[in-house]
Structures are given as C-alpha cells and as structure tokens.
C-alpha cells in the first residue's frame, strides 16, 4: 500500500509472449488481479503476439524498449510477466506493497509449479560470479512457507518482475539479445550497479510450467557470459573470464560421462559473444555509466565458488551414493554388476587418469626435449608464421611450418594466448579423447567399456605410444587421441536422413582433417584400418561402406592442411630423417601372447577386433622399422601410431573375451593367459602415465638454458649454438665433419623451431666457421658468432665440437652453467642491430626498435626480400632493412595466407554443418 | 578357419617386420677436437702470442712481422691489472714483405706482453727486446696447448730465472707449474692452481722458490683456460728467452753457438716415464760429427749436454732420441771479459762483456720454406742466418729479403751434413727474410751486439 500522501503506484503489465499461445490465460490472470493495472500490453512474438493481443482486447508492442517509450511519466512501475505465467490474484498487490515498503526498485515473485502449486520452482535467484543461477532448492522441494520472507537477492526470475519505470528506462530495459532468464539476471545486476534494491516477494505467487523455467540452451549460457561481461570491472574480468572458460571446458569434458554433451554449447556460447562483441561493448559502456556501486556490491549477493562445478559435484556425488548406498556394495555380485555397467566409474577413471597423465604440463607446457618444444609466446605469431609467415627455425626461412604449429596457435589464442594452458589442454584432450574414443569405437564392435578403457589406456600410453613419446613426437601423441574417433565416425551406423548423411561425411572429413593437422601422415590411417577390416571381413558391406566414407572424408580433409599440403614435398617428407623401432621384449611378448590367445579363444566380433589389431600391429611395425625401405621419421611415427591402435584392439578384444559366456573350457584357459598378457601390457603404461607429461620425456633444455635470461639485456634478442650428440639436440640438427650442432632461439626454442629448413648461405657460413675452428684456423670465433646473433655456445653432451671453442680470444667459458657453456665476448651478439649500434628486440617472428630516419637495421636472418621495412638490401647472407618505421617484419606470402584462411573456413563449415545435421531428425 | 587364417596373416606380417634390418650406426665425428695449432706460417689468419715484451724507460721491444701476402695486423697489449682496457694498434702490410713495429710507438709502460692477429697468411712474427745492456728475443708462438714444456732453466749463482705466464684469453686460467732439476722432481707448491686473470700475466721469480739449481725444467699445465708461458734466463746484463715447446724425438738447432766465444749447451728434458736415449750430432760448416754424444735422459731429471768441446766455432746440432724429449740450446759467453776499462781499474758496466746469453727452441721437422721475421732488422747488432742441412743432398737456398726495398734475391748452397752461416749485418730497409730450399733444411738466425746475443728460430711456411 502506498503511504498516505503518496499517490498509488500506477502499473503497466507487459505480457512477454514467445508465441501466440498461453497469452490469453495470462492476460485474464492479470485482469483478475486485486491491484488493478493501468494498461495491459502484449510484447513480442510478432504477428502471433499481435493477433493474441487483438483477441484478448489489449495493446501489442513489438519490444520492451518500444513499450517503455510509449509509457508516460504517470506510470510508476512496469510488471513484466511471461506468457504462460499464472499469477495468483494478489500477486501484483504483494509485489507493489513490498516494493514500496522496502523501497526496492525491482521485485520478483515466488514461482511454483503450475500443476503442483505446493512445489517450488524459485524464490529469488542467487548467482555465482559468472552469473550462473543457483536456486538453493532441492528437487521437488515442497513450499511450506520456509522461504516466505522478503529479502534481497542477486536477481529475480523474469517470469514475474516488477520494476520501477524510471529505472527500466534508465537501464534501457531487458537486453533483447538475451534469453529471458539471462536478461532478468542482467537487468537486476545493472539495476544494482545503479544502487537499486532487488528483492523477492514470496507472498506474490506465480504458477509457471517448471520445464520452461530452466533451459540448457546454449543461448542461455551465452547470455550469462554476456551479462557477466557487461557489468564487471576490467580487473574482475581479468580473472573471471579465464576461470569461466576453464569451468566451461571442464564441464564439457565431464558432462558426457553424466549423459550430457555440452562442448558445442560451450563453444557456441563463446563464439556468439565474440560475434556480438560490438554491441556488448556499447551495452557495457551504458551499463557502467552512472553506476553507484562497484563489483563488490554485486558480490554481496552472490554465492562463493562456481554454481556449475557445485552442480556437477553434487551430481557425481549422487551417482556415487546411489551405487554405494546398497548394503551389498562389496559383494562379488555387486562388483560384477559394476563391471557390467561401469560407464560412470570408467568415465571418472578416465578423467582422473588423464589429469594425472598431463599434470606436469599445467605449469610448464610441453617440455623442451627432442622434437617437443614449448609453444611460442605469441599465439598470433604462431598462426601468422604458419599462414605464410616467416619460419624462424635455425636462421629462418620461408619453408612451410607443419600444420600443428597453426593448430596449436589457434588453441593458444582461444586460451587467452597462454602457451602452457594450450599445451596442457591439447594434451589433456588427446588423452581423454583417446581413451574415450577407444571405448566408443570398441563398443561399436560389441566390446564393453572396461575392456575398452584398458584398450584406450594402451592406445595412449602403451608401448607404441611410449615409443612415440620417447621420440618426442607431440603431434602423433595428440593424433592418438583423434585416431579412434576418426575410425568410429566412419564405422557408426549410416543414417537414413540425407542431411545427416551429409553431416556424417562432413564430420568424417573434419575429424580426419584434425588427424592430419596434428600429424599429416595419420590422414591415411583411418582408411588403411578400414581397408584392412574390409579385407578381413570381405562380406561385410558396412565395413566397405565405412572405407568409402573414410576415403571420401580423407579427400575432403586434404584441403584442411593448406597451405602445408600445397607446399611440402610429400616424398621427401616421408623419407627424411631416420627412425627405427626396436620394441622392448616384455611388452612385445605381452602383445604377442594377447594376440595369439585372442585369435584362439575370442568369440565373434571380438575375434575380428583381435585379428584386425594383430594385422595393424604387424603392418605398423613394418612401417616403424622401414628404414631399409626408404621410410623416414614421419612414416615411422605413423607406423607406431598404427601399432598403438592395433595393440589397443588386441587388448580390448582379449579382455572382453573373458567376459563372454561363449568362451568356455580350454578356450577360457587360453583367454585367461591372454588376459594376463593384456593386463601386463596395461601395467606397462603406468610409468608414462604417471610421469605427468603425457608420455613425453622430462625437459632437457628449458632449465639448463634458463641462465640466458639472467644475462644483460633480453635473452630473446640472441641465439644459442648447441653442440652435442644428435640425440641430445633439440629437433633436427646439422652436421659438420660428423659432429652435430644446431642453432636455437634464446632462452628456449619454440615448437616452430623443431624442424630445420634446407641449408642456406647463412648455414654454409656457420658451417665454414665451425670447420675453421676444427682446423684451428680461427681465433676470434666470438666475433663471427656474434654476427649470426649467437651469444652462447652450449654443449649438450660429449662432442669434440666443445673443445674447438677453447682458446678463442673472445669466448668466455662460463664455469657456473649446468652444461659446458661459452659466452661470446662481443659488444652486440644480437639477431637484429641498427647501424647506430642499437640492438632491436625480437617481437614474434620480427623485430622492433627505435624509429630512426635514415638508419638501417641488419637482421641476422636468412636473406629474403620480403623482409621490410623497405628498402630491403641483402647484406651477405643476411638482410638490411630500413629502421624508419621502428619495426622489421616479414611480409607474409599472400597465397599461403589465403590458403590458410580457406582451410580454417572449410574446417569451421564442416564442424558447424556436421553439428547442425546431427540435430536434424 | 578364420582363426588360423588370422594367425597366419599376422604371423607373416610380423615376420616381415622382424626381418627388416636395423639401420647402420651413423658415422661419428671424424675429429677428436680442434686441430692443434702449430707455430707455423699457414695460409690462413693466425694469432701470434709474444709473452716476453717490454717497452719502457730502460727497455725497448720491436715486433717483427714477415708475410708472403698483404695483411692487416691488430696488435693487442693487455694490462697487468685485470679488466683494464688493453692498448690496441693496427698496422697493414699492403704488399708481401715485412714490417717492423716498435712497441714504444704504441705504448710505453714497461712489461707489455702482446698478441698479434694477422688477417691472412702465410706470415710469422718475432719479437726483439733490447736495452743498453741486453739483446734478446725469439719467435712468437701460435700454438696454445694445455701443457707446455720449458727446458733450459737454471737458478744457479749469477743467473735469474723468470717464468712469465701470459693469459691473453677472456677467461681466468688455472695453472699448475711443476719442475724437475738435477735432483729430480722439484716441489713448486706455491705454483699449484695458480690463477692468471683474463687478459693479464704473472711473472714468477723461480730463484726465490727453488734457488741454486743448475738445471731446471718446468712443465706448465692449464686445468682451466690457457696461458702462453715464456722462460727467461738473465745473467748480469744480458738475458735469453724462449717459449715452451712440445716434446719431439727429433730436434734440429741450426745455431747452438755463433763462435767459440760462446759455450754451447743442449738442455734435454724427459717428461715421460722411462729413460730416453738421445744421440747428439754436431754440424759445422766443415761437416758433421754424427753421434758426437750419446746420453740417457732419465724421467724428471733434465740433462745438460755441454757441446763446447765438440767443435770450434759456430755449430748446429741435431738430437735423435728414442722417445720424445723437450730441448733448447743455450750459448753463454764462456770467458768472463770483465777487464778494467780505464786507468783506475774500474769496470764500466755499460760496456761490460762476457755475460752474453742466447737460447732458442729447435726445429722438429726440417722444411723447404721458411719465414724469418726480423732478420737483418736488429739495429743493435749484426745478424746472421743459419741453415742446417742434415740431409744427404746439397740444398740450394733462395733467399728473398723482405721489407720496404726488399728486392734482393740471393742464392746459397748448403752441402749435406753442414751448417751454413750467412752474415747479414743491419739494413733498415729490410724487416726479415723468406727462404726457400731445394731440400728440407732447418733455419734460425742470430743477432750479436756488444750488449748481447740472441737466437731466433725460423718459422716453417705451410703446415
């Protein structure tokens, strides 16, 4: 009630229509309110809404802002009511009274089930800092008046919200881009920033369909993110955004094990916000303009922690309790039941195993050892270098970087440019996907989850995976995560609908394309596996059909590898480098025993899996040992991946055979022996898994080279010459008189430096220097090394090259270093130096320094006329460019850049189309 | 059937994989370290280290460069105090020839060991140090081994022995010095783990550490970094200096003495574990006395071989040993000529005679082409060229003077088994010589003045 002297509040009721249905009933409920409204307006739903309004004899407005514009100043409040909401007759009166009494600018009703009015839906909304709502109610909680007190809340439901007209106009009304619930939270937050009170009035009851209240649509999530981005200060957003992102990512990983699939919603929600960034920025400016309070006022009404994580935790806890609450939970029968339906436990195990397997990468990213190197500091630089930019390996070149560099750059970019987070996330995703994908793949062959899980473990950490890890082939380790999916997506039942058929082909293409992006030779593996399967099951039409889809998908996937695939000499790529797989005896015997036992004892489709696995192990081994056949490192690694997949099939087949009732008598004994062998094989995975680096060896360079950061100036402005046995050097190396060496960037080489380009004149010049040193003909090696931008020489192991740097007049032996190290005793041993003598700093793949008209900069990079700023002049083996702009950049190769953009666009189209088609019925 | 077929297929495939051979191991490095630098005039850039140099109020030094090609020479004279900036000078030899660089024109601050970086080669460097009372010098060295042998030292009465440890490199050198005397190994405890700071030097007075030893041979070992040592024997006035050597089983000394006035001796040191038999052949202009002496050199006991009774006048020496030895020759004025030079019977020390000393290292392998920086360029005395032909064929020598007006070419013949001395005096237009021979010979030169005597070994061209 209004106090004496104050005019009675005048209300306009706005019925927010989604479509033409349910409007009339809500309007009649509004008309029957004991507190009369001055106007009733139906808002939204287009022509349907207009017709519904006409039928009910009320006005219609297209949007809330239009409505706000049409309301004169005599109206004090706006009552927003969803169509379908059924307010009790005193609902509005209670809202008005309590809002007046408490001086609240926003007041919301208590929501109860429309079919069971004694069950609560919501009594105000608390949110976490990420604007995820938390109702604080148990499922099916009965309304016994336990919440019947007017109180301040973070937000009220938009189903029935009374808001002061002036405030509604001041904040611009609900955000039309948001779904209703997110919009309600958003408007409440914006109101609170301006000092308004937001209260829930339980005496105002509104009946509402419960299934319409909470939605899991991605737009709801997108709206919450938008609401968060609009109201918080930049300082809050600095930590809130990454945490919100990681929570979403974690939810996407865990949800499938809880029967949900949130990954695409998660991606779409963020992409939607990126797409609407301009409007977000203007809305944010408006929301924060004239604010009376800071973020702390919002925090006051929010719950601590994450509502999503709490919900997931509760769900997991419920499921566990539902399993453990039984009195016979330790009985053999109970364990047997669990083994028969262990999807959840296996899921938890998978996540835990994966988290353990990659835990060390969280803080340090990929280790610097062999071909494994940390991601570059700049994601954009990585993407740019892949897409027609400068390849910074060695002394640089225009040779095309492998697709993994570009892919990792994109992931890094999405993860806010963090190289460690990107490496961790990619490795984690690979391990999870590898295990999970194997489970899913083997289930299509009637192999149950426990055996599938063991097979997945063998795939990602078995002997072949260990061999890949030992060879520090990150791409192939990641590829192991995609491989089972690439086969499964082709092997799954062929859909009936045309759209879904196209979607399946698109999905096949992008999944196989993903394989190619991480490790190009793996592109052919799915088709090869399915070909072998077809040969082993010649009468199986589905197997041949899957092969056809795989081949089609592979062909479509090839453009995804642009520009790499257009530039690289495939023959040379597959034959260069030297690898030879010599498996350890114990795992080898275990695989052999498991296979033989499986081939003898496994029944039906499990036998198919075992034989297919055996053929894959054998054929993969031929490729992995194919040095004599002219095969190189990449081919050998591809062979190892095939061995890993085959081992997984063998393990899955034999372990699941143990479960089969068809295996009896002596066959059961044989299967038991095979099972023991499979368990031994699984046991061999413990070491790489618990190493915490996703199977990669320990870091070999980052720590020993860290001393460079303690030197005067920026370490990244210089290079390091590493000498030592080939196996101890990072990535590829060069050889002088049989001794290996290579040049890397300081302080630690990045992933894009793993593969060296073909030798150029600068490499020849360095080799000549080393040769002169070996011949004892050079006494000032430091001067010459400085001209290459080399500041340190570090020996990584026993090498006669170490001694050649002794006795130089300008090289200082650093006694305190972890490895034998020489420091170049020269004024400016830097990669880029102006003619004025000022060193330029490295920035991405280019350089920056002081602007100086007429000054020139020498770049110790392999000579290339695309370096600028113009005019460019070749200076010996290096470059000289103008210092006038303060930057020296490589002008990217346009054709390659266009190809990369095209590949990215095609990838996005395939992903979106496959997801869209999957939803078609 | 399916099972058997599966087993057979997989068996065949696996056998195929097993049959593939392992790749052969990759060939390792074809070198074990840097090619050891020799003090030869090679056709490349080179650095020559000259430890015993001084230029101050009392002494002067001259850097002598002889080259077959045009080159630039950067002379660096470090400071004795660590981290002080070195003095630098750059000179150019625009045509093949020789150049004489007085150190005093660069800096005059007393002791100034230096190193010279030559931009090209073949070229060689020697240093001459002189004063009103001494004349000494030798060729500089280009090699930088970790272990140096320095035979020929003595701390007997009337002799002062100084070891200079020159570290021209940018890092600290840790050096240990061990000694061997006629009494066997000599404890030099104070000279263990000696720090020689980067780009500085240290002088060690051995008389105070191990006095009154007739023969003392030193071994300098660098555990970290490198040093260039030089051993200096000083008499009353004159002094002789020579660099370290690498042991060899064959040594040739074209000059052991220039006249009967100087008593020659050969100093041999065996750093091995077993006694070494050494045969000394003596060569004069008249011919050779093969196996003139046969001596046994015990490990860690230096052996002094007096040569003064083997020939009268100038002589050259060859040493043939059963195992590598380090060797130097010394020539010391044998008659003390300290006669009164005025009516009152006082000795004028400015003109004192009788204590002139010279010493030099030998040549381990005779060669056909030599550079002799400084020959005929020592203003203080007359120079002589010494050519030793220990072969069986007569050597035809072509002698090319190097310098600003060096056009004269002369021919000489050295019969087999002889040593030829060619007196050359002083010519300010000449800075050195280039020598070519039809057969391998050994070459050195000497300079004699009233103030002193010096021997300088030649530098082999090639290497």
Q: How do residues B116-135 score in pLDDT, each as one tens digit?
A: 999 998 999 999 999 988 89
Query: End-to-end CA distance of chain A, in Å?
Result: 54
**pLDDT surpasses 50 at A373:** yes
Q: What is the pLDDT of residue A215?
A: 63
The pLDDT score that the predictor gives to residue A491 is 86
Residue A341 has pLDDT above 80, yes or no: no
The Cα angle at residue B365 between residues B359 and B371, in degrees rounded to 5: 70
Mean pLDDT of B14-41: 86
Q: Do B45 and A777 touch (CB under 8 A)?
A: yes
Sign of CA dihedral A564, A568, A570, A575: negative
Report pLDDT for A1.
41
Q: Is the Cβ pair B47, A803 closer than 8 Å?
A: no
Residue A836 gets which letter from DSSP? T
Question: Is residue A324's pLDDT more than 50?
Answer: no
Q: Long-range contacts made by residues B186-189, C-beta under 8 angstroms, separation at least 24?
A: B186/B210, B186/B213, B186/B216
CA–CA separation, A19 and A742 (whole Å): 69
Q: Quick one: pLDDT band at residue B376, thresholds 50, 70, 90?
A: confident
In percent, how much of chain A has pLDDT > 90? 50
Is B342's pLDDT higher than 60?
no
Least CB–CB distance from A809: residue in B2, B13, B168? B168
Q: Which two tokens stand for residue A736?
A: 């002088």
Distance CA B335, CA B353 (A): 9
Average pLDDT over residues A438-452: 89
What pLDDT is recorded for position A776? Answer: 84
The per-residue pLDDT for A339 is 44
Is pLDDT at A171 greater than 60 in this prediction? yes
Contacts of A629 in chain B (CB under 8 A): 20
**Is A355 within 8 Å of A428 (Cβ atoms)?**
yes
Say which residues have a Cβ less than 8 Å from residue B19's Cβ, sequence separation at least 6.
none
A600 vs A449: which has the higher pLDDT: A600
Q: Output the CA–CA distances (angstroms, integers) from residue A62 to A66, A169, A421, in the order listed.
A: 7, 16, 45
Count helices and strands in chain B by DSSP H and E runs: 2, 34
A740 pairs with which residues across the strands?
A735
The tens digit of pLDDT for each residue in A497-545 reads 888 899 999 999 999 999 999 999 999 999 999 999 999 988 888 889 9
What pLDDT score was predicted for residue A331? 45
Give residue B346's pLDDT band: very low, low, confident or very high (50, 70, 90): low
| Rounded Cα distance, A302 and A33, in Å | 33
- A618-631 pLDDT, tens digit per residue, is 999 999 999 999 99
C-alpha A790/C-alpha A806 separation (Å) is: 16
Do residues A520 and A478 touch, judged by C-beta distance below 8 A?
no
Closest CA to A644 of A814, A806, A473: A473
pLDDT in tens, B261-278: 899 999 999 988 999 999
Return the pLDDT at A594: 94
Question: Taking 50 as the threshold, does the pLDDT of residue A336 lie above it?
Answer: no
Residue range A854-876: average pLDDT? Answer: 93
Span A11-36, mean pLDDT? 86
Give chain B positions within 8 Å (CB) of A618.
10, 12-14, 16-17
- A851 pLDDT more than 80: yes
Name the E strands within B312-449.
315-333, 357-361, 367-373, 382-389, 395-403, 409-414, 418-425, 430-448
**pLDDT confidence bin for A179, thresholds 50/70/90:** confident
Query: A537, A596, A618, A817: best mutation site toward chain B, by most B Cβ within 10 Å?
Result: A618
Nearest Cβ partner for B22 among A582, A624, A801: A582
Mean predicted confidence (pLDDT) in A433-441: 93
CA–CA gap between residue A61 and residue A427 (Å, rounded): 52
Cβ contact, residue pair A610, B6, below 8 Å: yes
Tally A–B CB contacts below 8 A.
130
Q: In the numeric block, which tokens belong to residue B259?
A: 């006249």
CA–centroid distance for A25 within its chain: 46
Chain A residues within 8 A of B18 when measuring between CB atoms? 621
Bond from prior residue into A747 cis (ω within 30 degrees of 0): yes
For residue A333, the model assigns a pLDDT of 47
Residue ranges per domain, chain A?
11-213, 220-318, 338-691, 706-824, 832-890
| Rounded average pLDDT over A5-12 | 78
**A640: pLDDT strictly greater than 50:** yes
What's the rounded Cα separation, in Å, for the pair A713 and A827? Answer: 12
Which of chain B's residues have a Cβ under 8 Å away from the Cβ of A628?
A: 20-21, 23
- ∠ CA A101-A104-A108 to the nearest 5 degrees? 100
Please tell me which residue, A281 or B35, carries the higher pLDDT value: A281
Q: State the average pLDDT for chain A.
A: 88
What CA–CA distances, in Å, run from A606 to A356, A525, A664? Answer: 30, 21, 15
Chain B residues inside the 8 Å CB shell of A776:
34-37
pLDDT tens track for A661-687? 777 788 888 888 998 899 888 888 877
pLDDT average, residue stretch B215-220 = 94
- In percent, the amount of chain B with pLDDT more than 90 equals 67
Residue B306 has pLDDT above 60, yes or no: yes
Secondary element (H or E) of residue B264: strand B262-269
Q: State residue B25's pLDDT score.
A: 86
At A53, the pLDDT band (50, 70, 90 cuts) reads confident
Of B29, B36, B144, the CB nearest to A737: B29
pLDDT per residue as tens digits for the range A686-703? 777 788 899 999 998 888
Among residues B188, B135, B134, the alpha carbon closest in space to that of B165 is found at B188
| Architecture in CATH of A11-213 | Alpha-Beta Complex (3.90)
Q: Which residue has the higher pLDDT, A852 or B8?
A: B8
Name beta bridge partners: B456. Answer: B445
pLDDT, residue B337, reads 45
Contact: B117, A780; criterion CB under 8 Å: yes
pLDDT per residue as tens digits for the range A282-307: 888 888 887 888 888 888 888 777 78
Q: Which of B2, B31, B85 to mutate to test the interface with A (most CBs of A within 10 A)?
A: B31
Question: Which residues neighbour B142 within 8 Å (Cβ) at sequence distance 6 or greater?
Answer: B37, B38, B39, B40, B46, B47, B48, B49
Pairing of strands B357-361, B262-269: unpaired
Distance separating alpha carbons of residues A507 and A568, to the nearest angstrom: 26
* Residue A479: predicted pLDDT: 97
- Taking a C-beta distance cutoff of 8 angstroms, is the pair A144, A137 a contact? no
**A578 band by pLDDT with thresholds 50, 70 and 90:** confident
- Asked if the Cβ–Cβ distance from B22 to A738 is below 8 Å, we say no
Q: Pick the residue with more confidence: B251 or B404?
A: B251
Q: What digits encode the pLDDT tens for the residues A80-133? A: 988 888 999 999 999 999 988 888 899 999 998 888 888 888 888 888 888 888
**A537, closest residue in chain B (CA to CA):** B2
pLDDT mean over A229-234: 88
pLDDT band at A562 (very low <50, low <70, confident <90, very high): very high
Q: In what order do the strands lie in the sheet with B228-234?
A: B200-205, B160-167, B228-234, B239-243
* Residue A415 DSSP label: T
Q: What is the pLDDT of residues A751-780, one digit of tens each?
A: 999 999 999 999 999 999 999 999 888 889
Residue B78 distance to chain A (closest CA, Å): 12
The predicted structure's pLDDT at residue A2: 42
**Interface residues of chain B, partner chain A, Cβ below 8 Å:** 2-3, 6-7, 9-10, 12-14, 16-18, 20-23, 26-37, 42, 44-47, 115, 117, 144, 168-171, 198, 224-226
Which residues in chain A have their CB less than 8 angstroms from residue B113's CB?
A: none
In chain B, pLDDT over 70 holds for what percent of residues?
Answer: 94
pLDDT(B177) > 50 = yes
Quote the pLDDT of residue A358: 92
Percent of chain A's residues with pLDDT above 70: 95
**CA-based nearest distance B12→chain A, Å:** 8
């Amino acid at each position: 009630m209004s106090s004496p002297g104050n005019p009675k509040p005048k209300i306009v009721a706005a019925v927010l229509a989604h479509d033409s249905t349910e409007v009339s009933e809500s309007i009649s409920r509004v008309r029957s309110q004991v507190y009369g409204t001055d106007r009733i307006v139906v808002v939204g739903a287009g022509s349907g809404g207009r017709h519904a309004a006409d039928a009910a004899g009320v006005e219609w407005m297209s949007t809330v802002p239009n409505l706000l514009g049409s309301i004169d100043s005599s109206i004090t409040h706006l009552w927003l009511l969803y169509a379908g909401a059924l307010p009790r007759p005193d609902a509005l009166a209670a809202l008005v009274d309590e809002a007046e009494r408490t001086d609240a600018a926003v007041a919301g009703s208590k929501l109860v089930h429309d079919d069971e009015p004694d069950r609560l839906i919501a009594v105000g909304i608390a949110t976490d800092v990420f604007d995820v709502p938390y109702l604080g109610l148990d499922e099916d909680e009965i309304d016994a008046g336990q919440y019947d007190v007017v109180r301040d809340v973070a937000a009220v439901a938009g189903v029935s919200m009374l808001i002061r007209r002036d405030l509604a106009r001041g904040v611009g009304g609900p955000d039309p881009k948001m779904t209703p619930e997110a919009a309600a939270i958003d408007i409440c937050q914006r109101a609170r920033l301006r000092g308004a009170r937001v209260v829930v009035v339980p005496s105002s009851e509104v009946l509402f369909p419960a299934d319409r209240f909470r939605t899991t649509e991605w737009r709801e999530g997108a709206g919450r993110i938008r609401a968060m981005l609009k109201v918080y200060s930049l300082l809050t957003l600095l930590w809130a955004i990454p945490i919100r992102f990681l929570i979403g990512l974690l939810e996407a990983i865990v949800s499938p094990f809880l029967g949900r699939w949130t990954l695409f919603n998660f991606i779409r929600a963020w992409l939607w916000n990126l797409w609407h960034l301009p409007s977000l920025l203007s809305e944010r400016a408006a929301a924060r303009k004239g604010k009376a309070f800071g973020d702390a006022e919002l925090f006051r009404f929010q719950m601590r922690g994450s509502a999503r994580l709490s919900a997931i935790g509760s769900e997991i806890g419920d499921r566990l309790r539902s399993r453990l609450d039984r009195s016979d939970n330790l009985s053999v029968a109970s364990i047997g039941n669990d083994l028969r339906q262990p999807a959840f436990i296996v899921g938890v195990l998978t996540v835990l195993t994966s988290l353990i397997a990659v835990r060390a990468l969280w803080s340090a990213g990929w280790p610097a050892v062999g071909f494994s190197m940390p991601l570059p500091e700049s994601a954009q630089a990585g993407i740019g270098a892949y897409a027609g930019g400068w390849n910074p390996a060695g002394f640089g070149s225009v040779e095309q970087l492998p697709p993994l560099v570009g892919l990792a750059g994109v992931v890094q970019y999405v993860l806010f440019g963090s190289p460690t987070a990107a490496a961790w996330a990619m490795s984690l995703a690979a391990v999870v996907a590898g295990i999970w994908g194997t489970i899913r793949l083997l289930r299509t062959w009637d192999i149950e989850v426990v055996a599938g899980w063991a097979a997945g473990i063998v795939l990602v950490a078995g002997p072949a995976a260990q061999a890949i890890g030992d060879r520090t082939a990150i791409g192939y380790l990641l590829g192991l995560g995609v491989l089972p999916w690439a086969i499964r997506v082709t092997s799954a039942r062929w859909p009936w609908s045309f759209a879904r058929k196209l979607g399946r082909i698109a999905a096949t293409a992008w999944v196989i394309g993903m394989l190619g992006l991480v490790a190009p030779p793996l592109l052919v593996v799915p088709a090869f596996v399915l070909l072998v399967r077809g040969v082993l099951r010649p009468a199986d039409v589905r197997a041949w059909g899957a092969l056809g889809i795989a081949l089609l998908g592979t062909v479509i996937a090839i453009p995804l590898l642009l520009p790499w695939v257009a530039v690289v000499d495939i023959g040379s790529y597959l034959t260069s480098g030297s690898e030879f797989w010599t498996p350890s005896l114990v795992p080898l015997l275990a695989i052999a025993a498991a296979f033989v036992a499986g081939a003898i004892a496994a029944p039906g489709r499990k036998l198919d899996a075992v034989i297919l696995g055996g053929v894959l192990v054998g054929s993969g081994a031929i490729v992995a040992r194919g040095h004599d056949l002219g095969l190189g490192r990449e081919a050998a690694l591809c062979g190892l991946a095939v061995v890993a997949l085959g081992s997984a099939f063998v393990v899955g087949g034999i372990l699941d055979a143990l479960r089969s009732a068809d295996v009896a008598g002596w066959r059961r004994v044989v299967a038991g022996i095979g099972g023991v062998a499979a368990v031994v094989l699984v046991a061999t995975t413990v070491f790489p898994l618990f190493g915490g680096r996703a199977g990669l060896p320990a870091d070999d360079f980052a720590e020993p080279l860290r001393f460079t950061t303690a030197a005067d100036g920026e370490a990244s402005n210089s290079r390091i010459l590493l000498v030592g046995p080939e196996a101890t050097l990072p990535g590829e190396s060069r050889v002088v008189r049989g001794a290996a060496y290579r040049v890397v960037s300081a302080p630690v080489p990045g992933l894009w430096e793993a593969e060296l380009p073909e030798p150029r004149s600068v490499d020849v010049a360095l080799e000549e220097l080393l040769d002169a040193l070996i011949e004892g003909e050079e006494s000032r090696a430091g001067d010459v090394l400085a001209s290459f931008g080399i500041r340190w020489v570090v020996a990584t192991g026993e090498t006669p090259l170490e001694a050649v740097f002794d006795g130089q007049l300008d090289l200082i032996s650093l006694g305190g270093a972890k490895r034998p190290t020489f420091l170049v005793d020269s004024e400016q041993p830097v990669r880029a130096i102006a003619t004025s003598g000022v060193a330029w700093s490295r920035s991405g793949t280019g350089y920056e320094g002081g602007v100086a008209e007429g000054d020139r900069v020498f770049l110790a990079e392999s000579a290339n006329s695309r370096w600028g700023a113009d005019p460019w002049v070749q200076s010996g083996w290096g470059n000289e460019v103008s210092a006038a702009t303060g930057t020296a950049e490589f002008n990217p190769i346009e054709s390659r850049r266009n190809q990369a953009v095209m590949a990215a666009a095609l990838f996005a189209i395939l992903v979106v189309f496959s997801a869209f088609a999957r939803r078609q019925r | 059937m399916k099972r058997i077929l599966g087993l057979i297929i997989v068996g065949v495939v696996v056998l195929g994989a097993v049959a593939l051979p392992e790749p052969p191991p990759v060939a390792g490095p074809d070198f074990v370290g840097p090619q050891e630098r020799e003090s030869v005039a090679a056709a490349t850039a080179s650095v020559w280290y000259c430890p015993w140099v001084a230029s101050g109020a009392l002494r002067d030094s001259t850097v002598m460069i002889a080259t077959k090609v045009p080159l630039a020479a950067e002379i660096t004279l470090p400071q004795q105090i660590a981290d002080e900036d070195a003095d630098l000078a750059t000179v150019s030899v625009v045509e093949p020839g020789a150049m004489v660089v007085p150190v005093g024109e660069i800096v005059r601050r007393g002791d100034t060991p230096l190193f010279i970086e030559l931009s090209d080669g073949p070229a060689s460097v020697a240093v001459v140090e002189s004063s009103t009372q001494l004349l000494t010098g030798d060729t500089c060295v280009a090699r930088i081994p970790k272990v140096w042998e320095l035979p020929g030292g003595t701390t007997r009465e009337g002799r002062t022995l100084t070891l200079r440890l020159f570290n021209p490199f940018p890092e600290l050198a840790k050096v240990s010095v061990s000694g061997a005397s006629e009494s066997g190994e000599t404890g030099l405890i104070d000279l263990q783990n000696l720090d020689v700071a980067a780009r500085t030097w240290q002088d060690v007075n051995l008389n105070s550490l191990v006095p009154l030893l007739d023969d003392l041979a030193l071994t300098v070992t660098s555990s970290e970094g490198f040093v260039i040592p030089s051993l200096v024997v000083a008499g009353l006035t004159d002094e002789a200096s020579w660099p370290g050597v690498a042991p060899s089983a064959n040594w040739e000394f074209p000059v052991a003495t220039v006249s009967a006035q100087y008593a020659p001796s050969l100093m041999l040191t065996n750093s091995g574990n077993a006694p070494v038999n050494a045969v000394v052949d003596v060569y004069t202009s008249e011919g050779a006395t093969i196996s003139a002496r046969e001596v046994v050199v015990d490990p860690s006991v230096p052996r002094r071989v007096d040569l003064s009774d083997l020939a009268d006048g100038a002589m050259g020496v060859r040493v043939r040993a059963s195992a590598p030895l380090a060797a130097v020759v010394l020539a010391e004025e044998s008659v003390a000529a300290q006669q009164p030079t005025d009516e009152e019977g006082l000795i004028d020390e400015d003109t004192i005679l009788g204590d002139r000393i010279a010493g030099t290292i030998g040549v381990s392998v005779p060669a056909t082409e030599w550079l002799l920086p400084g020959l005929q360029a020592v203003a203080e005395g007359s120079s002589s060229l010494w050519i030793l032909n220990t072969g069986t064929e007569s050597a035809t020598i072509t002698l090319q003077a190097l310098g600003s007006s060096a056009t004269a070419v002369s021919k000489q013949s050295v019969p087999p088994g002889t040593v030829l001395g060619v007196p050359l005096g002083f010519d300010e237009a000449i800075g050195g010589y280039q020598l070519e021979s039809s057969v391998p010979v050994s070459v050195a030169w000497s300079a004699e003045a009233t103030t002193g005597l010096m021997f300088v070994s030649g530098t082999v061209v090639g290497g």
